[in-house]
Amino acid sequence: MKLLRLLVVFAMLGFAARAQQPEMELDLGEVVDVAHQWAAENLDDEVLQALPEVDRKQVEDFLKAFAEQLRGSNVVDVARFKDAAKLVLPLLNGYEETTPLAAWLRTRLDYFEVAEEFEKSLPPVRGQSLTNPPPATERKVWVKKLSRTDWPAGAKEFVPTLKPIFAKENVPQELVWLAEVESTFNPKARSPVGAAGLFQLMPATAKRFGLSSWPWDQRYQPEPSARAAAKYLNLLGRQFSDWRLALAAYNAGEGRVQRLLTKHNAKSFDGIATHLPAETQMFVPKVEATILRREGRELPKYPTAPIPKSRT
């Protein structure tokens, strides 16, 4: 019950903060309705059935509130879920059926710590909610956060095999490290809304780029999953001519990124970053910092000449 009360408080804080954002047009009641609708349509109840009823309720409440916070635009308030996430993670780790969800959550634990750093970097303004930090600040925080991290165990197995797949699809090989950010190279990782595998592909995206779901779900197979992810990145790169924008679209959807570019008359990720979902605001600089840490180089610039289409 203590966890449940914490989650309710966190959710209300997140919703209230979002209601003050210029992008937010829904009132608080509408936001809550949207959250319930999203959860009803997307939360994977079959997986959670393995949990005892009390634990299941706690996990469901956390996942609903956390997912809604990630979908909102206030990145600083993500930090408020840190303690709740640490309580939920052991529950997910305790049952074989929910360990894929645990892998997904564990990969995102540093989001809470980085959001705390964002909060510290912003000067308090009396009577006003904290605004999102500028993209340059977020990049610096992520570089510092990842500066001493070691390779994930799975990376040593998968990176040498998957890099050539990215190269064949005319995508920078360094973007294979997207798998560390999405799943820590755990092929079994699964999100609460059904994204799966090393590259956290949704079913519709997987189907769009040639993966089958029967008799085996190819999203859980490293090489087919990598090929589909690379094809998608190739398409997004050609659409936006910018790898940061391509990564933002990979996480938030190409339609949303294009609408924000149009609305704000912007041509770069930095021009729309603070209007993107909180998860995307952290996802893109985390990918950049991961590449810098693992490869010793920055995210490649998009080539002047358009890259060829990915092979089908």
What are the tens digits of pLDDT across the range 27-56?
A: 333 333 344 444 444 556 667 777 777 688
Q: 268 and 236: one domain? A: yes
Residue 17 pLDDT = 41
- 306 exposed, middle or buried (CB, 10 Å; 0-12, 13-18, 19+)? exposed
Residue 43 pLDDT = 58
312 domain residue, yes or no: no
Q: 115 and 206: one domain? A: no
Q: 164 and 287: one domain? A: yes
252 domain residue, yes or no: yes
Q: Give me the phi and psi of 166, to 5 degrees please.
A: -65, -45
Residue 45 pLDDT = 61
How is the chain split among helix, strand and coil, in percent rounded to 5?
70, 0, 30
Q: 252 and 179: one domain? A: yes
- The CATH number linked to 257 is 1.10.530.10
Q: How many folded domains does the chain comprise?
A: 2
Cβ atoms 21, 27 nearer than 8 A: no
User: Among residues 101, 133, 165, which one ends one of the domains?
Assistant: 133
301 domain residue, yes or no: no
* Positions in the chain short of pLDDT 50: 1-41, 127
Question: Which residues form the domain of 273?
Answer: 145-295
88 domain residue, yes or no: yes
Q: 53 and 105: one domain? A: yes
- 56 exposed, middle or buried (CB, 10 Å; 0-12, 13-18, 19+)? middle
Separation CA 68–CA 78 (nearest Å): 10
Tokens read off for 17: 């903060």
pLDDT digits (tens, 9 = 90+) for 44-95: 666 777 777 768 888 999 999 999 999 999 999 999 999 999 999 999 999 9
Residue 307 pLDDT = 81
Count the neighbouring beta carbons within 10 Å of the beta carbon of residue 190: 23
User: Among residues 85, 109, 133, which one ends one of the domains?
Assistant: 133
